[in-house]
């Protein structure tokens, strides 16, 4: 049922790593967050398939990284164009879209610029315009990247993402962080991080015409919970669900997250 595959797509703009798994009739595209700038999904098909196996019966899932080599100054809108190009190259005329964090920013642009490509949209722990919370966090992460402090980025991300209950376990694993997964260069991460603080679709959200589900965490310390609320207020035909006691990592912590996504996309 999982049929997990690691794949590479060579486009005119560059090489894209993506993974595919599941055997369902509905195509569902997942777009990961800014951590993709440190490590693409290359080689991650089986872990992803196991993590999201509850979706594999009803959907064929695709997880697209940004292209391997990003141009300085690229925006989330540019990255959405890359995704559109990938969909066209693969013959995906339309899909269900789940964007997480920066992936949700990219998903907004795809829904705005190519509305025919998005059947239903799930925006998870993301924002439509920069706020002080995300500006402070991105500045901190970019500073760490400038120093080559990969471990610092990983620890700070965890501390800002998870509930205290989860952090008690995660902190035991911090000592294992270091060179494992460390990129040769942080340039790709810097480009993706910079695009988060220039992303702005706020005044255009009322033009999103597909059914949309916004999922946020009231304790989000990376983009803020209010960012989810203000998106849902402006998107027509939109549902909002806010998790109490959870933050940016709710898609890993909330036991009913995948069920909510599945039920929304199966309507």
Residue 19 tokens read as 């993974």
Cβ neighbours of residue 147 closer than 8 Å, sequence gap 6 or more: none
**pLDDT of amino acid 184:** 83
Residue 126 tokens read as 């993301």
Residue 82 tokens read as 């890359």
**pLDDT of amino acid 178:** 64
Long-range contacts of 158-162 (CB under 8 A, 24+ apart): 158/249, 160/221, 160/222, 160/247, 160/248, 161/221, 161/222, 161/247, 161/248, 161/249, 162/247, 162/249, 162/252, 162/253
| Mean pLDDT per 10-residue interval, the chain, length 267 residues | 93 96 97 96 96 96 97 97 98 98 98 98 98 98 96 94 90 72 91 98 98 98 98 97 98 97 97
Give dist(CA 1, CA 239) in Å, integer: 31
Residue 265 tokens read as 């996309």
Give dist(CA 70, CA 34) in Å, integer: 13
Cβ neighbours of residue 227 closer than 8 Å, sequence gap 6 or more: 126, 127, 128, 131, 133, 134, 216, 220
Domains: count for the chain: 1
Give dist(CA 47, CA 74) in Å, integer: 29
Residue 199 maps to which CATH number?
3.40.50.1820
Contact in structure between 66 and 192 (CB atoms under 8 Å):
yes
pTM tops 0.95: yes
Contact in structure between 133 and 217 (CB atoms under 8 Å):
no
**pLDDT of amino acid 173:** 78
Give dist(CA 153, CA 128) in Å, integer: 23
Beta-sheet pairing, 59-64 with 26-31: parallel
Q: Which domain holds residue 221?
A: 5-266
């Amino acid at each position: 049922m999982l049929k997990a595959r690691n794949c590479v797509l060579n486009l005119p703009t560059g090489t894209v790593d993506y993974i595919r798994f599941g055997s369902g009739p509905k195509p569902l595209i997942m777009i990961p967050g800014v951590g993709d700038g440190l490590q693409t999904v290359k080689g991650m098909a089986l872990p992803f398939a196991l993590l999201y196996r509850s979706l594999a019966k009803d959907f064929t899932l695709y997880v697209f990284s940004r292209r391997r080599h990003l141009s300085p100054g690229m925006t989330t809108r540019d990255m959405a164009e890359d995704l559109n190009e990938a969909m066209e190259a693969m013959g995906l005329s339309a899909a269900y879209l789940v964007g997480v964090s920066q992936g949700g920013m990219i998903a907004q642009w795809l829904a705005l610029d190519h509305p025919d490509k998005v059947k239903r949209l799930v925006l998870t722990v993301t924002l439509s315009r920069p706020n002080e919370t995300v500006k402070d966090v991105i500045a901190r992460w970019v500073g760490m990247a400038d120093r080559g402090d990969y471990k610092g980025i990983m620890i700070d991300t965890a501390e800002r993402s998870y509930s205290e209950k989860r952090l008690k376990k995660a902190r035991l694993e911090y000592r294992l962080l270091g060179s494992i997964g460390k990129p040769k260069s942080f340039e790709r991460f810097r480009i993706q991080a910079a695009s988060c603080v220039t992303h702005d679709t706020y005044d255009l959200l009322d033009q999103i015409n597909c059914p949309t589900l916004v999922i946020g965490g009231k304790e989000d310390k990376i983009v803020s919970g209010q960012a989810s609320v203000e998106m849902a207020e402006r998107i027509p035909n939109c549902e909002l669900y806010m998790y109490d006691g959870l933050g940016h990592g709710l898609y890993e912590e909330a036991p009913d997250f995948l069920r909510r996504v599945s039920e929304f996309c199966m309507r």
